[in-house]
Every structure is written in C-alpha cells, then in structure tokens.
Amino acid sequence: MLLAAFIIVALPITGGALNPARALSPVIFVKGNALGHVWVYVVADLLGGVLAAFAANYLNKDVDSATVTQALSGQKMTVQQFVDIAGLGQTNFANGQALTAFMFELVLTFLFVLVILIVTKSASVPAPLVIGLALTGGIYAFAQISGAHFNPAVSLAMAIQKRLSWLEFVGYVIAQLLGALVASLAVYGGISAYLKSLI
C-alpha cells in the first residue's frame, strides 16, 4: 500500500506517473505537447530506480558476510545461499525461461497499465487504492515467474543490484513498453469505444 500513498502524494504534481512505461505509452495517443515534457517523468522515475538500488546496496552492505540461522534445522548459511534457495527478489532463469518471463512482463504490464489508465479516468474510483491492490496482487501471483517488475525503473534497480543481467534488463524493458503501449492503444486508440458499442 506504499504505492497508494506515493500516488496520493504525487498525484497533484505528476499525475501519479511513477512508471516510465506508463508515462510514455499514452503520449502517442494524447494531443498536444505531452511528448515535450514526458522525458522529465521518465528520467525522474529511472533516477528513482537507481537511487533505490544504491540505497538497498548500502543498507545490505554486509549481506555477503552475514549468516542466517535456518529456522527449522538450526543450520547456518550465508545470506546469499538463503536468497538463492528462497529465490527472494531473484530473476535468474534456466534455459528457455527468460522468454516466458518476458511474456509475463508484457502481459502483466499491459494489465497493470490498463488498470491505471481506466481507474484514473473516473473521479468516483479510489485510483491509488485500486492501483496499489493491482500491483500487490500481480506481485503475489507472478513474482516467482518474472519477479513481477511491471516497471522499467524496478528492472533497472534489479540490474544494478545484479539480480537481473543487463541483457535480460533490455528484454524486460522492451516487454514492459510493449505491454504499456498496447494498454494505451486499448484505452486511447479506439478499442475501448468499440467495446462500449458492444455493451
């Protein structure tokens, strides 16, 4: 729900755009000079990802030397061994699984951005809460498959922390941008008007 709080705070300033894919995608379909200033949002979001990665690295600087007591057996292991076993925040793939992760990032970013674009159009919907719940649900449901980033800034932070290779980072960003673009096409490109005509 931290995201909901950030959206509430940032809404009057940025429109709550805390995701570069979400910030870029509607620009193609919106009239006016939106493209002229969208780079500010994208740079700010990516800078936030970089700062978060460095903050996490600083706060976890002793991770390689620390030990974790395994709750059930009492055996000791390094934090890195624990992370490798539990898969916490990791996005390491076996052969052939990276493509599956990219596809999940594309589809889930599409769904996430679609939720954002739809709920922010209505004043009667508590958009920050709905967006926070959508993100939370997506992370709980799909973190084991792709890491559930849905956001190039998150993928950048993971790449800086070496939890995602730079090649995989490029694949993630392409998938996320495509997912956001298709969501924007659905909302602004006429697909939504067509679906409304069917109802």
pLDDT band (50, 70, 90) for residue 79? low
Domain range for 139 is 2-61+95-198
Is there a domain that residue 166 lies in? yes
On whether residue 37 sits in a domain, the answer given is yes
The mean per-residue pLDDT over the stretch 149-168 comes to 90
pLDDT at residue 92 tops 70: no
- CATH code assigned at 169: 1.20.1080.10
In the chain, how many domains are there? Answer: 1
Note whether residue 78 is domain-resident.
Answer: no
76, part of any domain = no
10, 16 contact by CB (below 8 A): yes
**If we measure between CA atoms, which residue out of 141, 161, 145 comes closest to residue 153?**
161
With respect to residue 81, please indicate whether it lies within any of the assigned structural domains.
no
**pLDDT cut 90: percent of the chain above it:** 20
Q: Is residue 82 part of a domain?
A: no
* Residue 67 domain-assigned (yes or no): no
Residue 89 located in a structural domain: no
The mean pLDDT value for 40-58 works out to 85
| pLDDT over 80 (residue 11) | no
Residues pairing with 67 in the sheet? 78
Reference 138, options 130, 150, 154; nearest CA is 150
The Cα–Cα gap between 159 and 54 comes to 11
Model confidence pLDDT, tens digit, residues 100-132: 889 999 999 999 999 988 888 888 888 888 888
In the chain, the largest separation of any two C-alpha atoms, in whole Å, equals 63
pLDDT for the residue numbered 90: 55
